[in-house]
Structure 1
């Protein structure tokens, strides 16, 4: 590894990271359409089979911050290798699972592996590529990863109707091993040399407990009741452990999260818009799946085919974001994404003809994809490379946790509205509300961004010197 040319190292790092993220995205989006098949084969209800999705999302959301900081402190190469190996092992476990319990356990292993891979993968690119080509490399990496997003519904629907849902996981195994081998040979090691090789284990336990109880409470609230004792207890534990985590991070000399990160205004703005885009993305995909199969009566494979149009736009959003960032502030790119997403979500409720529905769906996918994809790229522009994993882990925690809340909230809203309204009417109301919320937030963020620019808080253009808030 050390004797390879710098070009070979960068190429190898790019391939290893891009393939790993491709697997994670494909795995996540392929399983949505396989839930009925899993339910039928394992002899469980659809609601129970849904835990194969929930467990994965729960594990990812809980361990993003830990994974990002482990990479910064102990070395990004080793963390990437360990996460990829765990993801591959979990994929084998999923493919061989004899029942729902083993499947959920293997999905948790996959999720923890993915949570270590994702933030470290971003920081590997940040620390391997020089500044002048870093943004382009990150955009290309997310372009490849989002091909997994594009193929996910199609692959999931196709395998479910064809050889079976287990093949979704078998596909992951050789791809994960390829990423592992390339990373082993080419990925150079890097870490935050300013801190000792020790981890805030108490902080890790508190943040994992807080996120796990919050996500589980949100996930199960619709079934248990939002005011049930179990739900309220989980929320109370989440609040208490979350508060203790913040106290711990203020007192410990080497925190899991440097809380000054949350005073970095450009980082916060990017995180807000990225989280909102991901919430919109999760809700729109869920509602569109219900609409296409429940209202339109499409099969899983045909529904997956319709998803190819917006998913292709999501795949293109990575390189597009990198190109736009050369000429626009990061917050401006995020606001543009929000504008496209908000108008797209609202417009989806106004069209029914296929010739118009599919391109509007694609327009919506472009905005939502650009929003949550570019947020991962943008955060790397407004934080120091030494703490790139930490910043990426915090961002992804917000994205996934709030995405889970959006999914649960959408399901609860449908349950509440459908006794009085037709399902299609309920779907439209939720999409309109989401679109308006994104557009309103964009307006607020842009007003704040312009005010900060006028007072020297952020850079006026890409590459310009930034004020105390950082470059945005």
Structure 2
């Protein structure tokens, strides 16, 4: 008979399978909504009669609240119960999704996307943390592997499902489909997933002011880039300075700046900013390029992007093993260069582009670069700090990647000279796309140079990542088990 206590559930039991189902459903909902929306953007723009700025905000409103609150979401779960916060996040995410699906205008859609991001920030840290806390130590590693692999499969089929929904029932269903998924996930979680907390969390205070200032700074800078409002940029920088000052002075900050005393941690996060800024801009623009310029349907555009995800699903674990043998410097230098080459190959994709001749080679090279760098990046982040700080290090790295992506989505159209109606004109969009791709490639080359100069093999063996498979293009995986300073599960 299954034990109700956290830490005693066995993977081969019925209850163990229910726990896997609940956590996979929750994490997959949040993962898909950060990527599938890109495929739907042209239809959203046409249906709501919006300009390019609204399409940018449709992506960035979600990323803003997710990046700004994800560290706080993990802390709330530790104190008040991981299952409780996870379920609240699922419900919140479903309500936001319903509002997105019913949105009568662009303003409502943007507000609803921001609400979705809040739900994502609550449920995302809790998903892996629940796996860690629920399963028996002998099964924990296999449970994490199963959760990671099934999440990868979900990420792989997501663009196909998203494209099919956009071309079939309509773009609103990429949001509405989350409602029945949440209706399955919530009762399963409440009935089968045991509650768990970190007993040490009650001795800590929440850094609400830090979370607010960080999110406000990101919002103002993003607004400045999208709407070319100089005053918002100045205000964003000032709020950012205030955020750093507050975090320096608080005894228990959301973002402990002392972690950046590690030169390796700082270097790897700079590489992360470069890599995920390029990824964010690339996947935002490529989904539009394939539909606006090359004439692909939403389904064809979604399926076209599958090679990157499939390659990561199949080979990211092996890449991590290779990096353990040779060290992180070579993978973190070569990976961004492969990705840069893939982005430059995308310059071949124009009107009437052949998938086999023009699109596929670029995405295969891009995928190989992502395979090469993502797993070593996560491992190096965890190895660059003391074991007790691995969780916060992983959270900072994840939040930095999401912030980099949202700033790239805001800045690239401005830097490439995209007008407000660019996505309605194949000629104009193609011209600006050709200016944007070299910019993305240049950011990746900068990341490779930082890795070559500043990244070295960690001086000591650190925490190894629990997630051996990562298929998300928006951020490295969160390492929930280490977030409470626990020792990594046995392998």
* Same fold? TM cut 0.5: yes
What corresponds to 1:5 in structure 2?
9
User: 2:281 maps to what in 1?
Assistant: 283
Classify the secondary structure of the residue corresponding to 2:342.
Answer: helix
Give the Cα–Cα distance (whole angstroms) in 2 for the partners of residues 264 and 10 of structure 1: 39
Which residue number in structure 2 is paired with residue 189 of structure 1? 196
SS at match of 2:34: helix
Is the Cα–Cα contact under 8 Å of residues 71 and 396 in structure 2 kept in the other structure? yes
Alignment of 1:240-251 (within 5 A): 240-251=238-249
Q: 1:89 to 1:426 in 2, by over 3 A?
A: closer
Q: Indicate conservation of the 8 Å contact 1:335/1:442, yes or no.
A: yes
**Structure 1 residue 247, shift from structure 2 partner:** 2.0
Q: Which residue of 2 aligns with 1:227?
A: none
Alignment of 1:56 onto 2:62: yes
The answer to whether structure 1 residue 220 and structure 2 residue 227 are counterparts is yes
Given that 2:204 and 2:252 are in contact with CA atoms closer than 8 Å, whether structure 1 keeps it comes out as: no
* Pairing partner for 1:402 from 401, 404, 420: 404
Q: Which residue of 1 aligns with 2:212?
A: 205
Aligned equivalent of 1:263, options 241, 261, 264: 261
The 1:414–1:144 alpha-carbon spacing in structure 2 relative to 1, beyond 3 Å, is: farther
CA contact (8 A) 1:266 1:331 kept: no
**SS of residue paired to 2:278:** helix
Q: Among residues 321, 334, 341, which one is paired with 2:339 in the alignment? A: 341
TM-score where L is the length of structure 2: 0.77
Q: 1:441 to 1:200 in 2, by over 3 A?
A: closer
The alpha carbon displacement at 1:112 in A equals 0.5
Q: CA RMSD in A?
A: 3.7
Say if 2:336 and 2:444, in contact at 8 Å, map to a contact too. yes
- Distance change >3 Å, CA 338–CA 138, structure 1 → 2: farther
Runs of 5+ in structure 1 lacking a partner?
222-230, 464-472
DSSP-derived class of the 1:432 partner = helix
Select the residue among 415, 418, 443 that pairs with 2:417: 415
Which residue of 11, 14, 35 corresponds with 1:29?
A: 35
Q: Is the CA contact 1:273–1:335 (under 8 Å) kept in the aligned structure 2? A: no
Distance 1:309 1:370 in 2: 14
Matched residue SS, 1:160: helix
Q: 1:194 to 1:96 in 2, by over 3 A?
A: closer
Deviations 1:241-296 (A, max 9, x none): 22222222222222222222222334333323333222222222233234322332
Counterpart of 1:76 in structure 2 is 82
Deviations 1:181-224 (A, max 9, x none): 44432255242716614312222222222222222223323xxx
Offset at 1:2? 1.0
1:323-362 matched pairs, under 5 angstroms: 323-324=321-322, 327-330=325-328, 332-349=330-347, 354-357=355-358, 358-362=360-364
TM-score (norm 1): 0.80
Q: Report the CA distance between 1:87 and its aligned residue.
A: 1.0
Structure 2 unaligned blocks of 5 or more: 465-491
Equivalent-residue separation in structure 1 for 2:217 and 2:204 (angstroms): 25
* Superposition deviation, residue 435 in structure 1: 2.6
Measured against aligned partners, the alpha-carbon deviations of 1:45-96 in whole angstroms (never above 9, x if no partner) come to 5643553333212222222232233334444333322222211222222233
Q: Does 1:119 align with 2:121?
A: no
| Distance verdict in 2 for CA 1:86–1:376, change over 3 Å | farther
Q: 2:160 aligns with which of 154, 158, 174?
A: 154
CA distance in 1, matches of 2:394, 2:19: 18
- The answer for the alignment partner of 1:176 in structure 2 is 182
1:300-352 deviation line (CA, Å, top 9, x unaligned)? 23222322233323444554455445545455544443243233223333687
SS class of match (1:198) = coil
Aligned-partner SS, 1:5: coil
